[in-house]
Amino acid sequence: MSTETMSSRERIMAALRGRDVDRIPWSPCIDGYFLGGVDQVEGFRRIGADAMLRHIVNYIGSLPYYLTSTVPGKKMLWSKKQSKIGDETEVIYETPVGTLTERLRLNPESPNIPWTTRRRVRNIEDVKILTWMYEQAEVVPVPYMFDLAEKRIGDDGISTISIPGTPMLTLLNGEVDIDTFWYLYFDHTEVMEELFEAMHGMVKRICQACAEGKAPVIIQYENLSSTLCSPKIWEKYAPRWYREYAEILHQTDKIFLNHACGHLFEFGEAIGDLTLDGLVDVATPPTGSLPDLATARRLWGPDKFIMGGIDATAFAGKEPAALKEYTREVLRNMGDGRRMALGSNDAVPKNTTWEKLEAITEVVRECGAFPLGK
């Protein structure tokens, strides 16, 4: 029996604001890992889910990344040269203070998002070059990209704006091998903290561009996990970073979310103290360490929006009938569902079938009446 009286847009925004909904929202993270040649809007409509479109941007800038744009009226302060070496793409960044090199590769498991096979930072001199690049980075708002996404999705969901993660997790996820990062951090703490501040400054400038735009929801792609960093060291830096981003975004009533797909149980109640409005793509076992989303609610308190629950291994390994029962169990372990949404524990994997996603939608419509468990 259907419990739908709200549009997907109304349902998602109500859940984000902590208001009553007709049923629990269902919004998996479907992006370049899964979609292949299928359009994101078409994908959400095909499975009948509540769309939270991902990786929309409403800014461009001279960001120190593989994908970057020149700010109108400004000259790029570094050059970027690409060449093919076997099945990899080598990217060389030439700056007035030195050169950085990275290599990227696409493979069948990730046909649209490249893997980094050689990271840019390998020693402390590379850290100084990257610090300079982040210090020079500029951004400007570009509203039409968000407007285009909003026009296409209509009442079937919302468009969310992506911003980079905090300095420590951005470095650990993409710029430096994990062992190298920690050697550099402990051997050259002050120099690494200068890089942190340069990166933090750039993210604040991006937040300002987002605050000036119309998009109500901002997602910071963080990939927070105790498998990457010590919760104790994370707590030394992260709360201030989040607070300063939130101060900018909350000036214009933006909803500030964090993509946190790793092991989170080890951070305990500290996540609940952050000035984030919520966490999405929250992972449960085996890819995450939170037993269920009700545990996340207990640790983080009533004011955080929490979305997740369907693990990548379930998408990959369970047939539709088994996935339906798994979904029912996830819903039973979400508490009353207030300020929550059913989603995926990180991106939906490539080998997931449409039939499996449609099976979850069927369960949500049958069993997702709000409040859950009534």
d(CA 214, CA 143): 8
Confidence at residue 74, expressed as pLDDT on a 0 to 100 scale = 76
Confidence at residue 223, expressed as pLDDT on a 0 to 100 scale = 94
| SS3 (DSSP) at 119 | coil
d(CA 209, CA 204): 9
Which sign, positive or negative, has the C-alpha torsion 170, 175, 178, 181? Answer: negative
pLDDT in tens, 167-213: 999 999 999 999 999 999 999 999 999 999 999 999 999 999 999 99
Whose tokens are 């501040």? That residue is: 197
Residues of the chain with pLDDT under 50: 1
Q: Which domains does the chain have, with CATH numbers?
A: 8-75+122-367 (3.20.20.210)
Question: Between vectors from CA 206 to CA 189 and to CA 68, what angle results, nearest 5°?
Answer: 90
Average pLDDT over the chain reads 93
Confidence at residue 35, expressed as pLDDT on a 0 to 100 scale = 75
Confidence at residue 37, expressed as pLDDT on a 0 to 100 scale = 66
Nearest of 314, 324, 316, 326 to residue 361 by alpha carbon: 324
d(CA 60, CA 69): 6
Extract the runs of DSSP E, i.e. beta strands, from 283-371: 305-310, 340-344
Terminal CA-CA length for the chain: 15
d(CA 200, CA 241): 7
| SS3 (DSSP) at 271 | helix
d(CA 115, CA 105): 5
Confidence at residue 1, expressed as pLDDT on a 0 to 100 scale = 44
* DSSP string of 47-96, one letter each residue: HT--EEEEEE-SEEE--SSSS--PPTT---SSEEEEEEETTEEEEEEEET
Contact indicator for 137, 199 with CB cutoff of 8 Å = no
d(CA 97, CA 316): 46
Contact indicator for 115, 106 with CB cutoff of 8 Å = yes
Confidence at residue 67, expressed as pLDDT on a 0 to 100 scale = 66
Structural tokens at position 189: 């703490």
Confidence at residue 115, expressed as pLDDT on a 0 to 100 scale = 87
Those residues with Cβ within 8 angstroms of residue 30's Cβ, 6 or more apart along the chain or in another chain: 40, 43, 44, 54, 344, 347, 348, 357
Confidence at residue 33, expressed as pLDDT on a 0 to 100 scale = 74
d(CA 82, CA 261): 31
Exposed, middle or buried: residue 303 (CB in 10 Å: 0-12, 13-18, 19+)?
exposed
Confidence at residue 66, expressed as pLDDT on a 0 to 100 scale = 66
